[in-house]
Structure 1
Amino acid sequence: MNAMHQYLFDTYRAAQHGERMPPLPGTHDVATVRALRDRRRFRAVLAGRPARGRLRTALSRWARPKAC
């Protein structure tokens, strides 16, 4: 069963019981991703690491040729 099937079951049950309809699947995805990003940045600052640009720095370090 995927998220859409579960949504349809929940919608049907809510209609039968006279309750509010559940939110559509994916409604709060953007807010969840932002909250996770903010939490990771906050934990990085607490650990003394840079909060931004870590991926770009790591990729540039990997792509840079090694000095022999």
Structure 2
Amino acid sequence: MGTREEEPECDPNYSGGCVPIASDVDCAGGSGNGPGYVDGVVRVVGTDIYDLDRDNDGYGCD
């Protein structure tokens, strides 16, 4: 059997894209320093633990 790359674990507090589970996550292209990054807009469906939704409209990295 061949080896398979593991899918990254995604934080269940967000939908519409994969927010990696990391010590800190920032929006790609922003001023944050990671180590995790989100590429594109995600919807906050739980607690916004990474503070991606700065304007509190329910969407992060928009």
Higher normalized strand content (fraction of residues): 2
* TM-score, normalization by structure 2: 0.19
State the structure with more CA Rg: 1
RCO higher in structure (CA 8 A, sep ≥6): 2
* TM-score, normalization by structure 1: 0.18
Higher normalized helix content (fraction of residues): 1
